[in-house]
Amino acid sequence: MKVFTSNIGSGNANDFVGRTVTNLRTLSEPLSYFGVDLGPGRRLLPTAYTVRNRNSTSHVCLSWRLEASIDKVFWYQLDTRVFYVGDPNYDAQYEEVVERLCEPGFVSTWGVNTEIYREVGMDGFQFFRVV
């Protein structure tokens, strides 16, 4: 398995898949990401994924997309989370979730839209990234 990234703001890219809470983050640029290449011949069809906050309350990721690919060129969107959009009515619905996501080292597990698997009709994906 290999880890890839668009750019690193701090930390080591391999911390992305580690079990230790670190201060890993990308630079604050649009479409920054961390990803995983499972390697040739390895495929996965996830039904859920887990995200862990870095060991800090600043630079917290409150919106992201989980994407998957078979060729690292075309990406399928498996899940999207947007918890802060600047609209008080919308944002109030997720206030408790945002507070939890801002806790250092907080771990959360999210489901995947498995309907895409039937639409695409494939055996699984080799590449995954969080954008």
Per the document, the length of the chain is 131
* 131 residues of the chain, pLDDT tens digit each: 888 888 887 777 777 887 788 777 788 788 888 899 999 999 999 999 998 887 777 777 888 999 999 999 999 999 999 988 889 988 888 888 888 888 988 888 999 989 889 888 778 999 999 99
Q: pLDDT tens for residues 117-127?
A: 988 877 899 99
The two tokens of residue 33 are 């990401």
What global pTM score does this model have? Answer: 0.84
Q: pLDDT tens for residues 25-39?
A: 788 788 888 899 999
Q: In degrees rounded to 5, what are phi and psi of residue 108?
A: -135, 145
Residue 48: Cβ-neighbour burial (10 angstroms; 0-12, 13-18, 19+): exposed
Q: How far apart are the first and last CA of the chain?
A: 19
Q: In degrees rounded to 5, what are phi and psi of residue 18?
A: -75, 170
Of 58, 55, 68, nearest in space to 128 by CA: 68
Residue 79 CB: number of other CB atoms within 10 A?
A: 18
CA torsion angle 8 9 10 14 (round to 10): -20
Q: State the pLDDT at residue 126.
A: 96
